Amino acid sequence: MHKDFKLGKEDINILKGINLDIEQGEMVALLGPSGSGKSTFLNVLGGLVPPTSGDIMIRDYRISEMTENELCLFRREHLGFIFQSYNLISTMTAMENVALALTFAGVKKEIRKERAIEALEVVGLVDRMGHKPSELSGGQQQRVSIARALVNHPEIILADEPTGNLDSKTSADIMEMIYRLNREENQTFVIVTHDPDTTKYCTKVIHMRDGLIESEVNQ
């Protein structure tokens, strides 16, 4: 898998020219102080914001030239997202939140439920599938959001500070789980974090500063 970035945002140049290759099955940590552009980089990577200039290639797909609808379809099949604030829909149960991603892919209702339960099994939350997000702890909510990211079996999962709102014990649990998924499913992870502990699970650690890559370490 190959990805190229050459980015620059006009007024405020958040990303000032980034060039990076990530291989399939890698687990990449993006570190850097706030304002260094690591979240923006992740969002551009996921097709949530278009780059001002430059290319993003995921396998043979040229993300930077896709229309919004093409991006939606692409995200549906190839990408999973995990957010710092979980971003679960508060009116839906854990199971419904996970199944929602499949709804848009046009999967039948029974199969949706089956696969949502499967994904919740992976994160160990089957017994809580009928609960709403407000009835779950932070760690549990994040596990639901991981299950949601997994349910489509995407090749790439983009995580924006997945442990940012969690205590260190729970953070470790979540990272263990991500590590396990990375090993077992050979899924590629790109994780934005400012927690150095997180980096020990990763195969590649990238430090960013002022919109540029400061260092790239394979470990």
Under the rule (CB under 8 A), what is the footprint of another protein?
43, 46, 48-49, 68-69, 72-73, 75-77, 81, 83, 87-89, 100-101, 104-105, 148, 152
Report CA 97 to chain centroid distance, whole Å.
16
Collapsed DSSP state (helix, strand, coil) of residue 196:
helix
Alpha helices in the chain, H assignment, sequence order: 38-45, 68-78, 94-104, 109-122, 138-150, 168-185
Q: At its nearest, how many Å lie between another protein and the CB of residue 130?
A: 20
Residue 212 · residue 16 · CB < 8 Å: yes
Q: At its nearest, how many Å lie between another protein and the CB of residue 172?
A: 26
Q: At its nearest, how many Å lie between another protein and the CB of residue 106?
A: 10
Shorter beta-carbon distance to another protein: residue 152 or 163: 152
Shorter beta-carbon distance to another protein: residue 15 or 202: 15
Q: Which amino acid is at 67?
A: T
- Identify the residue whose tokens are 């919740």: 120
Q: What angle do CA 153, 27, 33 make, to 5 degrees?
A: 120
Q: At its nearest, how many Å lie between another protein and the CB of residue 108?
A: 16
Collapsed DSSP state (helix, strand, coil) of residue 163:
coil
Q: At its nearest, how many Å lie between another protein and the CB of residue 151?
A: 9
Shorter beta-carbon distance to another protein: residue 67 or 219: 67
Shorter beta-carbon distance to another protein: residue 73 or 217: 73
Q: Please compute Rg for the chain using Cα positions.
A: 17
Shorter beta-carbon distance to another protein: residue 43 or 170: 43
